[in-house]
Structure 1
Amino acid sequence: MDDGMLIDPFAPLDLRDQGEALTSQATLAKWLPELPAPTEPPEAEMIRHQSHGYASARWIYRDGEGRPLFAVACFNKPDGHKEVLPYTYGTFIGRRGWHFKLPPAPMHLYGLDQLAARPSAPVLLVEGEKAADAAAALFPDHIAISWQGGAQAVAKADWLPLAGRAVTIWPDNDAPGADAATGAARLLRSNLAVQAHVVELPSGWPEGWDLADAPPPGVYTETLRAMLVTVARYIVAWPPGFSMRREGLFWQRDDPEKTDWWLAAPFVVEGEIRDSGGDGWGLLLSWRDRDGRLHRWSMEHRALIGESSAVEAELMHRGLSIATAPSHRAKLRMALAAVRSETRVTSVPRAGWQRGPSGLVYVMPDGEVVGETCERVILNAGAIETPDVAAVAGTVESWQAEVGAPAVGNDYLALFLAASFAGPLLDVTGDKSGGFHLFGRSQTGKTTLLRCAASVWGPPEMGAMLRSWRATANGLEATAAEASDALLPLDEIGQADGREVAEVVYLLGNESGKRRSNRDGSARRSKTWRLIFLSTGEMDLAAKLMEAGKRVMAGQDVRMVSMPLPRDGLVAGNLCGHADTQALLVHLNEAIKRNYGSPARAFIAALARARAEDAAGVVAALAATRSRFLAAHLPAGADGQVVSIARRFALAAAAGELAAGFGVLPWPNGEAERAAGSCFRQWLSRRGGAGAAEDTEALERVRHFIALHGSSRFATLVSMGMGVEEEADPHRTLSNRAGWRRKDSSGRWEYLIQSEVWAKEVCAGADPREVARALKACDLLLTEEGRLTSKQRIPGYDRPRVYRVAGGILDGREAEP
C-alpha cells in the first residue's frame, strides 16, 4: 500500500488480508465470509437454528455506506436465558448464504453507518445491540454503538473508526460490564488517544441493569440524561512539556538524557468551571484514591496564586498522590494553571432551580440535575459530595401505598405532605419563603407527621432530611441553602434558644444570610434560598419567644404559622384499617423507614417537563387552584397578614393538587384543597378573626396591663353629682400610680391611663400611637376629635391628658372598625 493512500476506517476488510484473522488453515478452507453481504439478512422470524428454533430478534451490522456486513440473532431458550449468535454471509462447506458463523476479526462495530453519517456527534458506547438501540432513543444527540460478542470480546473489536471521536462508555451494572467498560476505555486511550470516559453508576441499582431495561426505582429518563451530560466529552489540552500518561501527569525535561518528572497520580480534568455570572473560573478535577473511591474537586484558579502549598495540600488530603519536591509541585501548579478543556461546567451555589446557558434545570441536594441541559451543572464551588439527605429507598408506588394513602381524611398529615411539594413551586409563583408550625403536648405524633413530610425528599432521620431547631441562626444558613426550592423540616422548637428562634424565623423568611466580609474587606456573597419549612414542638412561637423575654411580632407570625394540636388527634379522621391512632402512627413510622426520596424526584421530573412544555399553563393551573381556595376560605375584608397566611395555605393546597395530578400523591381530586382549607379555618378560629395581628396584640397588651395591676395602681373615682368626681379613698397612697378608673353607665370599669405610663409601660416595645389607634378602631379608646387622648377633670390634677380606655376592654368586646 502506498504511504500516501488514506485508510477508510469504515471499509470492510479485504478478503486477501483475512487469513491472519482465521484461527487455522482448516477453518479458512471451510468458511469464506463475504463482507459486505450481497443481500440483507432475513427478518428474525425467518432465522432458524437447529437447536434454538426461530430467532426472537436480530440486529444488522452495517458499514459506513449502510451496506450489511453481518447480523446477530437472539434466541429465547427454555430455561429463560437467551442465546445470541453471529449470522454472517459466506460460503461454508460448499453452500453460499447466511450461516451462524463469526465474521473475520477484528470485529466491526455496531453503528458504523451512523458514525459515518454524523462525523461530529459525540459517541455513546454500550454493551449489546439491544442496549445500543435503546440508548439511541434515549439520547438522540449521541451516536449509540456497540461491539459484537459481549463483555469478553472487547479486545476483538475494531476500534479504529472511533479515532478522534469523543466517546462516553455506559457499562452494564455488573462486574463483567464494569471490566468491559474499563477495558474499552483503556484501549481507546492507549491505542487511539481517544478521550474516553465511563459513566459512574450509583450503588444500589439492580444487578446487570443496562439501558435496555426500565429505569431503576426512583430514576427517570431525565436522570439518565443528566448522568450522560455529566460525563460529556473532556477534550483536554495540556501545555507544552506536560502530558497525562497511564502512570499520571509528567513533565518532559528539555534534556532527553534526563528522566521526565512524575508530578501526580492520574486524574481527569472534567472541564473548566465558572459560575453563572462568569466569575470563579477554575477546573473540575476527579480521581480515584488508593482505595478506589472516586473524588471530585472544584479548584478555583485563584487558589494557584495564593498560599503556595494550598492546592497540593488539598489534593493530597483528598487522596491524590503527588510529588512533594518544591520544584515538582511548582511544575504541577504551572500545569494546572495552563491546561485547557473544551468542556464548560457551570457551578451553582445552592440546590433548586437554576437558569443556565442551556435553560432551566433543577439541582437536587446531592447534585443530580433534572431537566434538559447542554452544559454540565454542578452544585457548589468546592468539594462535591453526595449527602445522605438525598438518598432514595423504595419506589413511588410503595410510598404512595404506605405513606401517601393514609393521609386522605387526615387533615394535618395531608397538609404536611402537600406542603412538602410546595418548595419547588416558589420559583413558579413568586411567593416568599415561609412555614407551618404544629405544636401541642408530647407523644402525640407531631414528629411522625414531620418525618412523613421529610420522607418525600429523603431519609426522614435527624442529620439527613430531618433537622433540629437546636442550632444557631448562622448554622442554619447553610442548611437553608441546601434545602432551597425544597423542604426544610425542623423538629422540637423547645430545644432552641428563644432568641435564636426569633432570628431564625426572620432569617428563613427573608431568604438570605448575613452579609460578611472576606479577609481583604470585600463583601462575601451571602447564602440565599427559597423554601418551605415545617416545624413541630410543644409550644407555639409566642410562648417560645416569651421565654427569652420577647414578644412575637406580626412579621414573625406571618412567616411561620403556628397551628395547635387538634383535640381529636392528628390522624383521627381515617385510621386506614388500624385499631387506633397509635397503631396508625406506628405503621407510618415503619413505612417511612423503607420508603423515601422517590416522590420528590418524580414530582420534580414531572414539573420540569411541564415547565419546559407549557410554563404558562403551569402558572395558570396553580393560580386557578389558589384563587378557588381563597374564594372558599378567606373572609371578606381580611387583613393583609391573614391574606398572606391564607395564600400559603393555598400554595400548599395547589402543590398537593399538582402532585396528585402528576400521579405522585395517590389522592382524589380536591383532597389537598379540602385538608388545607380545614387547617386554615382552625387556625383562623384560634386567632380570633381576620383582623391585623398587630391590632390583636395591641388589645392583648392593654388587657394584660390592666388585668395585672387592676386597683393596685389605679385610683378609683366616684361621682359626687353635678359632674364632680372624687377619689373613693383620698387617704390611700398608691405606689407608682398608673392612672384612675371609674364605672361607666353600664357598670363596667373605664380606665384613664397617664400618657407617660402608656408610652413606657403599657406599650413597651411597641409604637404607643399605633396601639392607641388599634383600640380606637375597635371603639375601646374614647378620644377627642383629632386626638388619641382626652382631657379629664381629676381631683388634685386639674385636667391632664390621658388615654381613656373603654369599659369593654376586659370583656373581649371588639367592635368592627
Structure 2
Amino acid sequence: MSATAQTTPDTDVFSAFEAKAQAATMENYTALLEELAAYTINDVFDPVQRTLLIVALGNNKTLGVGKRAAGNALAAVEKAAKRATQGEPDGIKGGRGVYSLRDNGVWYSKPTTNGYSEPVCISPHLQVIAETYDTTDGNNGRFIEFKDTRGRLKTWAMPAIFAAGDGVEITKYLRGNGLNFVYGNDKEIIDYLLSSPVTDLMTCSDRTGWVDDVFITPKTNYGENAERYTYQPTSVIDNKIGQAGTLADWQANVARYAQGNPLTMLALSSAFTGALLKQSGMMGFGLHLWSSSSDGKSTTMKTACSVWGSEFWQQWLSTSVGIEGSAYAHNDLFLALDEIGEATAQTVSATAYALANGEGKRRGGRDGNAKITKKWRVVFLSTGEKSLDALMKEAGMVTRAGQEVRMINVRSDAWKHGAFNDLHGMGNGSVFAEMLEANTKKYYGTAGDAWLYAITQPGGIPDDISQAIDAIRETMLPEDASGQVRRVARQFALIAYAGELATKHGITGWKAGEATAAAKECFDSWVDDFGGADGKREHRQVIEAVESFLFSQISRFQGTNLSEGSVYNIKDRVGFVRNRPEEDGAFLVPTAQLVKLAEGYSKEQIIAALRTVDMINAPDKDGKNAINISLRAEDKDLNEPEFGISHPSI
C-alpha cells in the first residue's frame, strides 16, 4: 500500500498497520519503520494514531525494543526521510547557510550532514539595496537598509573594508543604530550582507563635498540624481550638520543682525565660501579673528557656524590631534576653530599650511609603499586672543609670508563696540552678543541646506565665477599692491562673492552689495594692520627682529677699544660695537653671525631688509661688503667683520 496524503485518517489502513506492528519481527522492523514514517510525514496517520502504533511496536514481545526505543527509531527515520526529499531551500546561498528575506525579517537555514535545518528568524528587516563604489575604485561597499527597535527604516553605506577580520565593526554599527538581531548570529549577519546579490550601483565618497555635480553631506545629498550617491566614511566622523527652525526664523533672528556689522557679515559669508572653492579654482584659506579682549569674536564665529548646525565649531586643542580628519569631514564646507591659545605655535603653524594646502601627511604602509594621502578643500574661521604672528614670536618662531596669506589675521576689536558696529538698538555689546549667541542655538542649519540646494541647481553657480571674483577684487585693491596683498584681496573677494550669491538665492535676507561692502571694510582693516599694501611686510619684520636683538643682546657685542687680554672675555659674542667719538657708531658683525640677528631669516633676507632703511653698509666699488677696523689690542688674529650695522641709539 502506498502512503498518500489524506485529510481524514483511514481507519482501515490504520487497523491493518496496527496488526503489522503487533506481528513484526526484527527482519522486517526497519522496512516497517520506513513505511510508517512515509504515512506520518504525509499525514495519513494523525499524531494520536502515530502514538498508538508506537505503543503497538513497543508491546511486541518478538521485537523486544520497548515503546521509547520504538518512538526514537521512528523519529530518526522520519527526519532522514524529510531531509532526503527536502533538497536545498530557496534563498540566498552564503558561506554559512541559506538566507531568505521575508516580511518579518531575515530567516536562516543552517547546513547539516543530511541537508539543512528548519529555517529560523535571525534578524528584523535587513536588506542590501545596492553595491557602492567611489570614483577611484578604492572604497567599495554595500548600501543597506534595516529597521531599528522602534520600527524605523534606516540606511547605511557600509564600507566593505569593515568586513575584514572578524567584521565586528559591522555588527557594532548595526546594534548601535538599533538593529536587534538574534544574539550569537553575528557571523551569519555578516555572511548574509556579503552574500546578498545586487545589481544596482551607487557612487560613494568617504568625504563631504562635490562628487561630479552632486554635493554630498552626512545628512543629505544635493543635485540631479542625488539619490544615486551616498556618503560612506571609513571612520567615525565629527560633523555636526543639523537643523532647527525655518530659514525665515534664521534670517529674522540671526542674519539680519549682521547688517551694519561688517565683521559679522564677513564671517557669515565665509561660511558659504567653501562650497565655491572648486568652481573658483582657488585653494583653501582661513580667517583668524583676534584681539586681547572679550569683544564678541567667539559670538561672531558661532553666528557663522549657525549656517550649518548647532555647536558646529571645534576647539583648536582637540583639532590639532586630528586635523586631517576634521578637514576631511568638512571638505567643501566650513571649519570653525575656537581658542587658538590652547594649541602650540608649532601646531598652529603646521595647521595653517595643511588646512590651506588641502593635503595631509604622506605616510607609508606596512609594505613600505605610500598610503593614499587625504585631500580636501576648506575655508576655516579661527578665533583667539593672539594673532598668528604674536603666537609664533612667543615661541621663538618666525611667521612666514605664506602663512599669513593662508591664515589671515583680522582684528576683531576694530569696530565701535568691539567686534560690532551696530547694536540694533541694544544697550551694549555684551547684551547684543548674548542675544545673538542665544539665537544661534535656536535657529541653525537651514541656511546651509538652502545654499546647497540652490547651488546644485542648473545655473546655481554662474559660469563666470572667476571673472566676477576678479572684478570684486579690483574694487578692493589699493595702488601698488604686492603679490601677497593681491592674493589676500582675492580671498576676501571670494567671500564677498559667496555672500552676494547667497543673497541672490534668497538665503541671507541682505541687500545686494552689502556682503561686498562688508568684505572691503574688513580687508581695508587687514591692510592697515598688515603694514600697508607695498609688500614690505617681511622687511619690516626683519628690521623689528634686528632692532629687538640689538637692544636686548647688547652684552654680546664687544667694544673695539679693547684692553690687553680682553678679546675673548665676551660670552657668546656676536660681533663688535664701535662708538668712539672720532668714528661713526656701528655694530660690526661677521658673516657667520649675521643670521643670529633675526632668527629664521637668511643672510640675504636680512641684508636686503636692512638696506631698505640704510641700516647696513653698502657694498664697495668691487661689490664687497667688508669693513676694515682696527682693534686696539695686541691680538690681531681676529676675523674682521664684514657688515657694519648702524642704529640711532649708537
Class of the TM-score when normalised by the shorter of the 2 chains: 0.7 to 0.9
Q: Aligned to 2:211, what secondary structure does the other structure show?
A: strand
Query: Residues of 1 paired with 2:228 and 2:562: CA distance?
Result: 84
CA deviations on 1:78-108 (whole Å, 9 max, x unpaired) are xxxxxxxxxxxxxxxxxxxxxxxxxxxxxxx
Deviation at 1:451, TM superposition (A): 0.8
Structure 2 vs 1, CA of residues 411 and 376 (structure 1 numbering), >3 Å: closer, same or farther? same
Within 5 Å, give how 1:318-717 maps onto structure 2: 318-322=177-181, 333-355=190-212, 360-364=213-217, 366-373=218-225, 376-382=228-234, 389-459=240-310, 461=311, 465-471=312-318, 473-518=320-365, 522-564=369-411, 565-566=413-414, 568-609=416-457, 612-613=458-459, 618-621=462-465, 623-624=467-468, 626-690=469-533, 691-710=535-554, 712-715=555-558
Q: Retained in 2: the 8 A contact 1:407–1:414?
A: yes
Query: Residues of 1 paired with 2:189 and 2:358: CA distance?
Result: 41
Deviation at 1:308, TM superposition (A): 6.9
Query: Residues of 1 paired with 2:169 and 2:248: CA distance?
Result: 48
Larger Rg: 2
Pairing partner for 1:739 from 575, 578, 591: 575
Using the size of structure 1 for normalisation, the TM-score is: 0.61
Instruction: Work out whether 1:243 is the aligned partner of 2:100.
Output: yes
Structure 2 vs 1, CA of residues 344 and 384 (structure 1 numbering), >3 Å: closer, same or farther? farther
Instruction: Work out whether 1:284 is the aligned partner of 2:128.
Output: no
Within 5 Å, give how 1:77-476 maps onto structure 2: 238-239=92-93, 241-251=98-108, 258-260=117-119, 262-292=121-151, 295-301=154-160, 303-304=162-163, 306-307=165-166, 311=170, 315-316=174-175, 318-322=177-181, 333-355=190-212, 360-364=213-217, 366-373=218-225, 376-382=228-234, 389-459=240-310, 461=311, 465-471=312-318, 473-476=320-323
Query: Residues of 1 paired with 2:246 and 2:364: CA distance?
Result: 45
Q: Retained in 1: the 8 A contact 2:132–2:141?
A: yes
Query: Residues of 2 paired with 1:468 and 1:510: CA distance?
Result: 21
Where is the helix percentage greater, Structure 1 or Structure 2? Answer: 2
Deviation at 1:787, TM superposition (A): 4.6
Structure 2 vs 1, CA of residues 439 and 374 (structure 1 numbering), >3 Å: closer, same or farther? closer
Q: Aligned to 2:485, what secondary structure does the other structure show?
A: helix
Q: Retained in 2: the 8 A contact 1:286–1:296?
A: yes
Amino acid at match of 2:502: A
Query: Residues of 1 paired with 2:532 and 2:559: CA distance?
Result: 34
Listed as ranges, the gaps of 5+ residues in structure 1 are 1-236, 718-726, 812-817
- What number of residue pairs does the alignment pair up? 546
Using the size of structure 2 for normalisation, the TM-score is: 0.75
Q: Retained in 2: the 8 A contact 1:412–1:570?
A: no
Amino acid at match of 2:643: Y
Query: Residues of 2 paired with 1:404 and 1:789: CA distance?
Result: 60
Q: Aligned to 1:471, what secondary structure does the other structure show?
A: helix
Q: Retained in 2: the 8 A contact 1:263–1:329?
A: no
Q: Retained in 1: the 8 A contact 2:586–2:647?
A: yes
Deviation at 1:781, TM superposition (A): 2.7
Match for residue 59 of structure 2? none
Deviation at 1:614, TM superposition (A): 7.0
CA deviations on 1:417-472 (whole Å, 9 max, x unpaired) are 2222211111111111111111113322111111111111111x2xxx02111225
Q: Retained in 1: the 8 A contact 2:219–2:241?
A: no
Query: Residues of 2 paired with 1:753 and 1:272: CA distance?
Result: 70
CA deviations on 1:44-81 (whole Å, 9 max, x unpaired) are xxxxxxxxxxxxxxxxxxxxxxxxxxxxxxxxxxxxxx
Q: Aligned to 2:538, what secondary structure does the other structure show?
A: helix
Q: Retained in 1: the 8 A contact 2:270–2:499?
A: yes
Match for residue 141 of structure 1? none
CA RMSD between the two structures: 3.4
Q: Aligned to 2:230, what secondary structure does the other structure show?
A: strand
Q: Aligned to 2:422, what secondary structure does the other structure show?
A: coil
Deviation at 1:678, TM superposition (A): 1.6
Q: Retained in 2: the 8 A contact 1:769–1:788?
A: no
Match for residue 20 of structure 2? none
Pairing partner for 2:642 from 792, 798, 802: 802
Structure 2 vs 1, CA of residues 666 and 764 (structure 1 numbering), >3 Å: closer, same or farther? same
Pairing partner for 2:629 from 766, 773, 793: 793
Structure 2 vs 1, CA of residues 295 and 513 (structure 1 numbering), >3 Å: closer, same or farther? farther
Query: Residues of 2 paired with 1:582 and 1:333: CA distance?
Result: 56
Structure 2 vs 1, CA of residues 511 and 336 (structure 1 numbering), >3 Å: closer, same or farther? same
Instruction: Work out whether 1:757 is the aligned partner of 2:593.
Output: yes
Q: Aligned to 1:791, what secondary structure does the other structure show?
A: coil
Q: Retained in 1: the 8 A contact 2:132–2:142?
A: yes
Listed as ranges, the gaps of 5+ residues in structure 2 are 1-90
Query: Residues of 1 paired with 2:583 and 2:511: CA distance?
Result: 57
Structure 2 vs 1, CA of residues 648 and 748 (structure 1 numbering), >3 Å: closer, same or farther? farther
Amino acid at match of 1:367: K
Structure 2 vs 1, CA of residues 706 and 482 (structure 1 numbering), >3 Å: closer, same or farther? same
Deviation at 1:524, TM superposition (A): 3.4
Deviation at 1:379, TM superposition (A): 1.4
Q: Retained in 1: the 8 A contact 2:297–2:419?
A: no
CA deviations on 1:170-226 (whole Å, 9 max, x unpaired) are xxxxxxxxxxxxxxxxxxxxxxxxxxxxxxxxxxxxxxxxxxxxxxxxxxxxxxxxx
Q: Retained in 2: the 8 A contact 1:272–1:340?
A: no
Q: Aligned to 1:244, what secondary structure does the other structure show?
A: strand
Structure 2 vs 1, CA of residues 294 and 496 (structure 1 numbering), >3 Å: closer, same or farther? farther
Amino acid at match of 1:559: R
Structure 2 vs 1, CA of residues 729 and 686 (structure 1 numbering), >3 Å: closer, same or farther? farther
Q: Aligned to 1:340, what secondary structure does the other structure show?
A: coil
Query: Residues of 2 paired with 1:746 and 1:793: CA distance?
Result: 13
Query: Residues of 2 paired with 1:335 and 1:770: CA distance?
Result: 67
Structure 2 vs 1, CA of residues 346 and 404 (structure 1 numbering), >3 Å: closer, same or farther? same
Q: Retained in 2: the 8 A contact 1:753–1:804?
A: yes
Query: Residues of 1 paired with 2:164 and 2:430: CA distance?
Result: 62
Query: Residues of 2 paired with 1:746 and 1:376: CA distance?
Result: 86
Structure 2 vs 1, CA of residues 294 and 697 (structure 1 numbering), >3 Å: closer, same or farther? farther
Query: Residues of 2 paired with 1:488 and 1:653: CA distance?
Result: 18
Query: Residues of 2 paired with 1:267 and 1:753: CA distance?
Result: 78
Q: Retained in 1: the 8 A contact 2:207–2:233?
A: no
Q: Aligned to 1:681, what secondary structure does the other structure show?
A: helix
Query: Residues of 2 paired with 1:702 and 1:767: CA distance?
Result: 12
Structure 2 vs 1, CA of residues 271 and 766 (structure 1 numbering), >3 Å: closer, same or farther? same
Query: Residues of 1 paired with 2:241 and 2:168: CA distance?
Result: 34
